[in-house]
Amino acid sequence: MLADYAVRVEDSRGRRHFEPPHAYRNGFQRDRDRVVHARAFRRLEAKTQVFTRRYSDHFRNRLTHTIEVAQISRTIAAQLGLNADLVEALALAHDLGHPPFGHAGEKALDAAMRQHGLAFDHNLHALRLVEDFELRYAAFRGLNLTFEVREGIVKHSHDYDAKDHPELAEYLLDQRPPLEAQLIDLADEIAYNTADLDDGYEARLLTVEQIAEGVDLFARHYREAKSRYPNAAKKLAFNEALKSIFDEFVGDLIANTARRVEAAGAHSLEDVRRHTERLAAFSPPVEEARRRLKEFLYENLYYIPALATEKEDAERIIRELFAHWMEEPGDLPRNYREKSAVEPLPRVICDYIAGMTDPFIFQQYKKYCGE
């Protein structure tokens, strides 16, 4: 049973190109499946999340992170009476637009584009992927996803101003996204904040003592885990603490979002869209704990000297490859050379680099930059 404020597939605004209904899958289920079968989705397996395989084959990559976000999102959606099929499609698509090398790659690509008066935004690049780059169907370019999935790709984590992005006018930029889209960014936060603690500890870049000293939330849950399992190995007590933090975040997001929906008097999807702010949110105490955890990760993991060389290499590789193709566009693949006749060359190069996996961009760098 869906809540009154949920998105109903039968009320979908439809696809850009008409397709008859499927015999046994609804529209959002078909969108989910199209994302899963997309080349861009498969490439996530070889794109860095935080750690490269220099540390371990067990760490998250973009694909495994995406699967974790989908699991969390479906759980939350079910408890709030939201459309779980739409939520799953959005969760699986939410990172499609990320370039190689994680956030270091995104930073370098955006910097390269800004030198030409342009910019790189992974949400907008994801929209370009599903609208144009994926070539699977004879009848149209792209995946021909429903409006609701395309809107969620654009708006799940960011509110765009219509004055700055007239090309996004169709996506109701003056309105909030549905709750199904709103919760994706928060599920993403839950997934990577807990996972990055886990991977940082496994990489021996963080210690239990260091985390407990810097994160009160972890210290509390770790004490409780040691109290419940006094004879457990340190790693298992650590796992229990992370599991409890995970549950606290998810439970709070469910309960607090339900309270906010009720307090706002949101009885329909239109009420959600017209509300003055997003209704999916953590409670103030848990939001503060989440913020402090994120600050700890930035200060003690993401920008530590042990990872600095890899980030610098990533930024240099993207910067030099971008510059090479700007000077020698004839070295681009034929289809990208053809696109440069109708689109600005920097945008074409950006699209090419953003679609690469980590191993492929290393190959291209060795081929064209001689290292």
Cβ-based neighbour number of residue 344 at 10 Å: 14
In sequence order, what are the beta bridge partners of 15?
146
DSSP structural state of residue 30? H
Q: Is 100 inside a domain boundary?
A: yes
Q: Is 4 inside a domain boundary?
A: no
* Res 51: pLDDT: 65
* Res 308: pLDDT: 84
Q: Does residue 31 have a pLDDT over 70?
A: yes
Cβ-based neighbour number of residue 331 at 10 Å: 14
Cα 310 to Cα 110, 326, 366: the distances in Å are 18, 24, 16
pTM: 0.95
CB 31 within 8 A of CB 25: no
Cα 62 to Cα 27, 28, 66, 183, 316: the distances in Å are 26, 22, 6, 19, 21
With bands split at pLDDT 50, 70 and 90, how would you rate the model's confidence at 75?
A: very high
**End-to-end CA, the chain:** 58
Cα-Cα-Cα-Cα torsion 299, 301, 306, 308, nearest 10 degrees, comes to -70
* Res 283: pLDDT: 98
Residue 261 sits in the same domain as residue 355: no
Q: Render pLDDT for 118-153 as a digit per residue (tens, 0 to 9).
A: 999 999 999 999 999 999 999 999 999 999 999 999
Which whole number is the average pLDDT over 225-249? Answer: 96
Which whole number is the average pLDDT over 319-328? Answer: 97
Residue 139 sits in the same domain as residue 14: yes
With bands split at pLDDT 50, 70 and 90, how would you rate the model's confidence at 52?
A: low
Q: What is the extent of the structural domain holding 345? A: 310-369
Q: Does residue 17 have a pLDDT over 60?
A: yes
Instruction: State what percent of residues in the chain have pLDDT above 90.
Output: 91
Q: Does residue 324 have a pLDDT over 80?
A: yes
Residue 244 sits in the same domain as residue 340: no
CB 99 within 8 A of CB 353: yes
Which whole number is the average pLDDT over 271-283? Answer: 97
Q: How many domains does the chain have?
A: 2
With bands split at pLDDT 50, 70 and 90, how would you rate the model's confidence at 371?
A: low
With bands split at pLDDT 50, 70 and 90, how would you rate the model's confidence at 48?
A: confident
Which whole number is the average pLDDT over 56-65? Answer: 82
* Res 357: pLDDT: 96
Give dist(CA 66, CA 68) in Å, integer.
Answer: 5
Residue 223 sits in the same domain as residue 336: no
Q: Is 14 inside a domain boundary?
A: yes
Residue 299 sits in the same domain as residue 254: yes
Residue 347 sits in the same domain as residue 289: no
Q: Is 344 inside a domain boundary?
A: yes
Give dist(CA 148, CA 154) in Å, integer.
Answer: 10
Residue 249 sits in the same domain as residue 363: no
Residue 260 sits in the same domain as residue 184: yes
Q: Is 1 inside a domain boundary?
A: no
* Res 188: pLDDT: 96
Q: Does residue 88 have a pLDDT over 60?
A: yes
Q: Which of 259, 276, 307 is the last residue of a domain?
A: 307
Q: Which of 307, 324, 350 is the last residue of a domain?
A: 307
* Res 307: pLDDT: 82
Residue 56 sits in the same domain as residue 144: yes
* Res 116: pLDDT: 97
Cβ-based neighbour number of residue 227 at 10 Å: 9
Q: Is 2 inside a domain boundary?
A: no
CB 353 within 8 A of CB 109: yes
Instruction: State what percent of residues in the chain have pLDDT above 70.
Output: 98
Q: Is 3 inside a domain boundary?
A: no
With bands split at pLDDT 50, 70 and 90, how would you rate the model's confidence at 335?
A: very high
Q: Which of 289, 307, 325 is the last residue of a domain?
A: 307
Count of CA atoms in the C-beta half-sphere (13 A) of 332: 26
Give dist(CA 100, CA 357) in Å, integer.
Answer: 5
* Res 27: pLDDT: 97
Residue 226 sits in the same domain as residue 325: no
Residue 251 sits in the same domain as residue 356: no
Residue 296 sits in the same domain as residue 328: no
Cβ-based neighbour number of residue 36 at 10 Å: 14
Q: Does residue 53 have a pLDDT over 60?
A: no
CATH for 37: 1.10.3210.10
Count of CA atoms in the C-beta half-sphere (13 A) of 310: 19
Determine phi and psi for 291, rounding to 5 degrees.
Answer: -65, -40
